[in-house]
Amino acid sequence: MLVTGGAGFVGANFVRRALATRPGQRLTVLDALTYAGSRASLAEVADRITFVQGDVRDADLVDALVSDCDTVVHFAAESHVDNSLRDPAPFLRANVEGTFVLLEAVRRHDRRLHHVSTDEVFGSLPLHGGGLFTEESRYDPSSPYAATKAASDLLVRAWARSYGVRATLSNCANNYGPYQNVEKFLPRQITNVLRGQRPKLYGSGENVREWTHVDDHNDAVLLILEAGTVGETYLIGSGAQWSNRDLLELALSLLGRPPGEFDSVPDRPAHDLRYACDSSRLRKELGWRPRYPDLPEGLAGTIDWYRANEWWWGPQKAETEARYAALGR
């Protein structure tokens, strides 16, 4: 198995999960080791994988790695909305060009591909009144990040239809868990409190997200690889919808802090109101069930991990906060 982006948050957790559940699995990780990727995230399994530092846009390198595997799981992507608003160019290069290069290699060597994407490609749901994204939802991305992920999804679908590439796709709700970069919402707030700093809340905090533990996401990906129908898309989501304000107050409670102990900062542009996925296809066809359907249990374990692993997130913290300070957030 070749895992692109396997030193990033979701990818590194996938690598550990795949090795834990598939004894004897031979696994190669390709990662460019940008700021969001870290070999430290793979330290505990370093002796069980082959690690290659390189760019998914490097056609010769990707061709050689794809030729030597049976299955490709494609996590490699630039993924932070705020960064895409500040400078969209790296997102076009990594998410669109990188996916194209990978697809061409997979096509040449007839390899099985799973492409990992986001529910942000569908845009925003109304804040009130229900409704869920489905596999048939219209693409309506709001940010450069979401637009480039939408483009990569459409490339995969086109290569499957035009060239017979054996691909599946998944779009997942917001993930949380260990080894997530401190630029993201939950790790930023958790590490602020652990450092004695006040957490930050965008705008009014009414925006709602569906929160899925990274292990549940990766169990779904492994299941899709084993039993999913080639050419199909599967939505992944725990069903746990929380507003940003309620989520922050839950985190503060679990950290032993008062619920109102945070600062409000300006909202980001085009901030989508609500994301939520209908994961019934995944549940009915493949039998997937989240191990963490209730956010408080999963979040408590995540907080414990950040409390115990400042060696991993500490070096990221100052630079991350400097970038947010420049944005006024």
Which residues are catalytically annotated?
119-120, 145
- What is d(CA 233, CA 128) in angstroms, rounded to the nearest whole number? 26
Picking from 186, 172, 178, 286, the residue whose alpha carbon sits closest to that of residue 235 is 172
Instruction: Look up residue 260 and give its DSSP letter.
Output: T
Residue 303 three-state SS: helix
Instruction: Look up residue 212 and give its DSSP letter.
Output: E
- Kindly give, in sequence order, each residue whose CB lies less than 8 Å from that of residue 170, ignoring residues fewer than 6 positions away: 114, 115, 116, 117, 220, 221, 224, 233, 234, 235, 236
Partner residues linked to 235 by β-bridges: 171
User: DSSP of 92-139, one letter per residue?
Assistant: IIIIIIHHHHHHHHHHHHT-EEEEEEEGGGG--B-SSS---B-TTPPP
